[in-house]
Chain A
Amino acid sequence: MAALYRADPPALRVTAAADAMTLIYHRPSGITHVVASPVPEILDALDEGPADARSILARLAVAHDLSGEEEAGAAIAARLDEMAAAGLVARA
């Protein structure tokens, strides 16, 4: 079964736009993250609750035009791994 990921509720992070990048201050850890798309979008998608890469892709597809489902799914899985290492998401 694919790994499930969860994120802290949105109230626990402060975000600011910086051109094409997004700055995220993660309140529980006090760590500042400088991230690019699709990281903010993945965090938004996790607001609905824990999900695996495939479900996140489905949630993102509602709001965004996505093509190449398999490729996009692999990219999201890779980003989730990085986000877990950075402390932005955790395996549920």
Chain B
Amino acid sequence: MRHEHRLRIGPVGFRIGSAWKAPVALLARLYAGYPGAGVPDFTVRLEPSRPWRRHLRPSVAIGGDFILPDAAPLPLAHALLAAEMGMNLQMALGARRWLLLHAAAVARDGRALLITGHSGAGKSTLAALLGERGWRLMGDEFALVDLADGRIHGFPRLISLKNGAIDALAGEVGEARLGPLLAGTPKGAIRHLRPRDEAIAAMGETARPALILFPRYGFARAVRPMGEAEIFVRLTQASTNYVALGEAGFRALAGLVRRVPALAIDYPDTAAALDLVARAWDGRGAG
């Protein structure tokens, strides 16, 4: 590949190769200060979907160690999104050292709060807001559960702010921490947010999980405790590699569910969500 950027995010090293210079320069700016990856765990390649598409209406296909053969290429202006999707894909399909949960994670005093739920539940927005309000952002996309001791590994990639969340955060953080506005992506408008420097500096520190929240956005405020079997089943659905890990995944997930309380929270707006999170954290599952 003509251009390349290597970086380590938490315990995972990536090499991102690109046929174009601009996406790599943008990655280098937004991921400035992240450690380099000597021997990367995963490679992502941004390459023209057809040879002539490097110059003519350039179009980016996501390549790498693991690929989705049917993934549609993206316009070059969305190459940053392609790189982030490529990194997600490597983790979702390739990671075997941890139980991967599709969840945001933030930490306080060495204890982690996991926020999971369906797409649109508000994981990224909540994690981004909490990350600006005294919590250490550990990741907005994947929580990495250690298979041996159940602790959570930080994976603080760029936060993918979508649609309404862009305005909610853009007013609080400086332009220097934001990527370009990517309009008209398959997920609507997206802007990437660089985590705070403190979160990046602390990304190697693991945290003990203390609470799991399953938020739903767009409903009247409500809190519901969840039984262990329901938590277990919901988390198997939220995991990208539970089946692949076999018994190790079962033991890690059963242990997590046994030790960590969980609440389903419904919220009508972000102010209510932040209040619910604060109360849930103080009560640690008592509601």
Contacts and interface: CB of A to CB of B under 8 A. Distances in A.
Interface of A: 14, 16-21, 23, 25, 27, 30, 32, 34
Contact of A18 (B228, B243, B251): B228
B67 interface: no
B250 A25 contact: yes
A46 B46 CA distance: 56
A23 B247 contact: no
B229 A16 contact: no
Nearest to A31: B243
A88 B265 CA distance: 35
B150 to A, nearest CB: 13
A30 B232 contact: no
Nearest to A18: B228
Contacts, number: 40
Given A23-B232, A34-B232, 17 more contacts: A14-B250, A14-B251, A16-B250, A16-B258, A17-B228, A18-B227, A18-B228, A18-B229, A19-B228, A21-B227, A23-B229, A23-B250, A25-B250, A27-B247, A32-B250, A34-B229, A34-B233
B228 A30 contact: no
Nearest to B227: A19
B246 interface: yes
A7 B229 CA distance: 23
Nearest to A30: B246
Tier of interface size on chain B: 10 to 19
Contacts of B250: 14, 16, 23, 25, 32
A18 B246 contact: no
B254 interface: yes
15 contacts: A16-B258, A18-B228, A18-B231, A18-B232, A18-B254, A18-B257, A19-B227, A20-B227, A21-B227, A21-B229, A25-B247, A30-B247, A32-B236, A34-B229, A34-B233
Contacts of A16: 250, 254, 258
Contacts of A14: 247, 250-251
A4 B10 CA distance: 53
Contacts of A30: 243, 246-247
A30 B233 CA distance: 16
B247 A21 contact: no
Nearest to B228: A18
A13 B254 CA distance: 14
A61 B232 CA distance: 31
Contacts of B246: 30
A86 to B, nearest CB: 15
A23 B250 CA distance: 9
Contacts of B251: 14, 25
Contacts of A21: 227-229
Contacts of A17: 228, 258
B97 to A, nearest CB: 19
Nearest to B255: A16
Interface in B215-253: 227-229, 231-233, 236, 243, 246-247, 250-251
B212 to A, nearest CB: 14
Given A14-B247, A32-B250, A19 B258 contact: no
Nearest to A24: B250
B285 to A, nearest CB: 14
Interface in B252-266: 254, 257-258
